[in-house]
Amino acid sequence: MAADTTDIDDIREQARRWLADDPDPASRAELTAVLDRLPASAPELADRFAGPLTFGTAGLRGPLRAGPNGMNLAVVTQAAAGLVGWLAAQGGTGPLVIGYDARHGSRQFAERTAQVATAAGRPALLLPRPLPTPVLAYAVRQLGAVAGVMVTASHNPPQDNGYKVYLGAELGGELGAGAQIVPPADAGIEAAIRAVGPLTQVPLGRPGEVLGDDLVASYVERATAVIAPDGPRDLSVAYTPLHGVGAAVLTAAFARAGFPVPGVVPEQAEPDPAFPTVSFPNPEEPGAVDRLIALADATGADLAIANDPDADRCAVVVRTSGGDDGRGWRMLRGDEVGVLLADHLMRRGVTGLYATTIVSSSLLRAMCAARGLPYDETLTGFKWIVRAGGGSAPLVFGYEEALGYCVAPEHVRDKDGITAALTVAELAAGLKAQSRTLTDRLDELAAEFGVHHTDQLSVRVDDLREIADAMARIRAATPTTLLGQPVDSARDLLPEADVVILRTATARVVIRPSGTEPKLKAYLEVVEPVVDGDVPTARSRAAQAVATLRGEIAAALGV
């Protein structure tokens, strides 16, 4: 009992010191209420003070709550002061451009970042309203900014928020101009954040300059230039932004490109930080696109498209006989959309480097080899994809299986759900003009290169130690056979990355913790040859093999 009392006293003292330095009356009141409930609230208080949110290559991301282990005005003030100090120490010149989504706290966090920057003598440029993440990434390049900050938690739950940092050409280099930070910048910024003194001594300046809509118009103009100006445009699209910030920009881009304006799911059209119609604001989650499919059905749409809440990802739902939902619709996997987009660009004559990640399908590699195009694969994350090849050839396309696509790296050097949607529409309209569909083209690619069936085993945990334990199990007892075939390659990427890769003659498994969510992920792939043009039979064999593989890997991980 004495130890428990000592622990509570220690945490209470930490909380009191935090309260004395917290600049936000609302979070001070929140934390005071937690203190008032001691000792019953001791576990909650301990979690809030378990440690500071760590600034990594994805920036900050965490629950909105008072205390160092949450997203709040105090944490953002400290992060902004550390970032601005680091930029100055690196000799970076130029403005800091700041964007934000429509989540709780996003605008306040963006404005506080601007105030910290201007007090330090650095111009701060705020996007005019809640806008997609790719608009911020575009603005960093377009405005010659030293860096950019995007306040967003992307597709995380409603109670979360986040803080992503992009560097301009001066500090990011040619490959990293307008891209998310990579080591050692993340460690340098983290150290600068920890060196920030009392927040009461962090000076605050003017609010910064709010940019006009001409920047958004410029983004839309450049986005529509990604597709050919004279292609077919007869395509009916149903669309949802999932209560996020993508609708106005995407519909403007479609209209400017000459497509019919997509029909938008009315209940999800406007930004809403509560995300009231979905249990989880991620297009990949079960039920997230049910309303989109209903709208597509009701309107007879050719295609359905969803962005995640900050519109950097793009999901594509297609008509099919006997779809996943029983109504004749199926969401394409990220790998399927990725190879469709790559194939489309290749057939348009776009030459240069094509890249994806180690967890994506190996089909892109096969396509590049057959067509004599340079190829590279990287660790997961667009911060790596846009730096693929190390400058050996200009990057022209990159994708990751988690619905992220970069179809125009010189426009946005990050994943961009708006230009991806436009390019999918261009491809689908061209196929429709030939009485063909996206699934027809997938079958043609399968006939040429074999069926590359991918799936994922994803386990959400409450305790991150469960992930560490599972990774330890697979390393200690690595399977020697999968699908009755010898495991002829077992690679452990430690210490560079917490990743294990297993290969047989026809299968590949990549196991890793998620970088943004409390999940353990195993990415599964089976390659099945197509005999005598019989794609359906090959798909059926591949699906059965992947189902078996899933069970084998789950058993090996102990999940």
Question: What DSSP state is assigned to residue 52?
Answer: P
Looking at residue 58, its pLDDT comes to 76
Q: What does the DSSP assignment read for 449-504? A: H-EEEEEEEEEE-SSTHHHHHHHHHHHHT--SEETTEE--EEEE-TTT-S-EEEE-
The residues that bridge with 375 in the sheet, in sequence order, are 354
Which residue intervals of the chain bear CATH 3.40.120.10? 55-211, 217-444
d(Cα 490, Cα 488) in Å, to the nearest integer? 7
Q: What is the CA angle 420-424-428, rounded to 5?
A: 175
Are the CB atoms for 136 and 99 separated by under 8 Å? Answer: yes
Helix/strand/coil for 155: coil
Which residue intervals of the chain bear CATH 3.30.310.50? 451-557
Q: Residue 230: exposed, middle, or buried by beta-carbon count in 10 A (0-12, 13-18, 19+)?
A: exposed
Looking at residue 102, its pLDDT comes to 98
Looking at residue 55, its pLDDT comes to 86
114-123 burial, b if ≥16 CB within 10 A, otherwise e? Answer: bbbbbbbebb
Are the CB atoms for 489 and 372 separated by under 8 Å? Answer: no
Question: What DSSP state is assigned to residue 176?
Answer: T
Looking at residue 322, its pLDDT comes to 52
Asked if the 217-444 domain carries CATH number 3.40.120.10, the reply is: yes
Per-residue CA distances from 254 to 130, 156, 167, 246, 436 (Å): 20, 27, 29, 12, 21
Looking at residue 246, its pLDDT comes to 98
Q: Which residues have a Cβ under 8 Å from the Cβ of 88 and sit 6 or more positions away?
A: 120, 122
Give 343-347 contacts, CB < 8 A, sequence gap 24+.
343/367, 343/441, 343/445, 344/423, 344/426, 344/427, 345/396, 345/397, 345/407, 345/423, 346/371, 346/373
Looking at residue 325, its pLDDT comes to 45
Are the CB atoms for 69 and 48 separated by under 8 Å? Answer: yes
Looking at residue 5, its pLDDT comes to 61
User: 501: how many CB neighbours lie within 10 A of its CB?
Assistant: 17
Question: Helices 185-194 and 73-89, interaxial angle, to 10°?
Answer: 120
> 226 — alpha (psi -120 to 50), left (phi > 0) or beta?
alpha
Q: Which residues have a Cβ under 8 Å from the Cβ of 82 and sit 6 or more positions away?
A: 55, 189, 190, 192, 193, 194, 195, 196
Looking at residue 326, its pLDDT comes to 47
Note down pLDDT in tens along the chain; length 559 residues: 334 666 888 999 999 999 999 999 999 999 999 999 999 999 999 999 999 998 877 789 999 999 999 999 999 999 999 999 999 999 999 999 999 999 999 999 999 999 999 999 999 999 999 999 999 999 999 999 999 999 999 999 999 999 999 999 999 999 999 999 999 999 999 999 999 999 999 999 999 999 999 999 999 999 999 999 999 999 999 999 999 999 999 999 999 999 999 999 999 999 999 999 999 999 999 999 999 999 999 999 999 999 999 999 999 999 987 544 445 899 999 999 999 999 999 999 999 999 999 999 999 999 999 999 999 999 999 999 999 999 999 999 999 999 999 999 999 999 999 999 999 999 999 999 999 999 999 999 999 999 999 999 999 998 989 999 999 999 999 999 999 999 999 999 999 999 999 999 999 999 999 877 789 999 999 999 999 999 999 999 999 999 999 999 999 999 9
d(Cα 202, Cα 192) in Å, to the nearest integer? 13
Looking at residue 6, its pLDDT comes to 64
Are the CB atoms for 35 and 45 separated by under 8 Å? Answer: yes
Return the CATH fold of 55-211: Alpha-D-Glucose-1,6-Bisphosphate; Chain A, domain 3 (3.40.120)
Nearest C-alpha neighbor of 362 from the set 487, 504, 484, 478: 504
- The whole model's pTM is what? 0.94
The residues that bridge with 377 in the sheet, in sequence order, are 356
Q: Residue 5: exposed, middle, or buried by beta-carbon count in 10 A (0-12, 13-18, 19+)?
A: exposed
Question: What DSSP state is assigned to residue 64?
Answer: B
Which residues are the active-site residues?
Answer: 154
| Residue 170, CB-side half-sphere exposure with 13 Å CA sphere | 16
Q: For the CA atoms of the chain, what is the radius of gyration?
A: 24
Are the CB atoms for 278 and 243 separated by under 8 Å? Answer: yes
Looking at residue 324, its pLDDT comes to 47
d(Cα 419, Cα 414) in Å, to the nearest integer? 11
Domain at 451-557, CATH homologous superfamily: Alpha-D-phosphohexomutase, C-terminal domain (3.30.310.50)
Report the first-to-last Cα separation within the chain, whole angstroms: 35
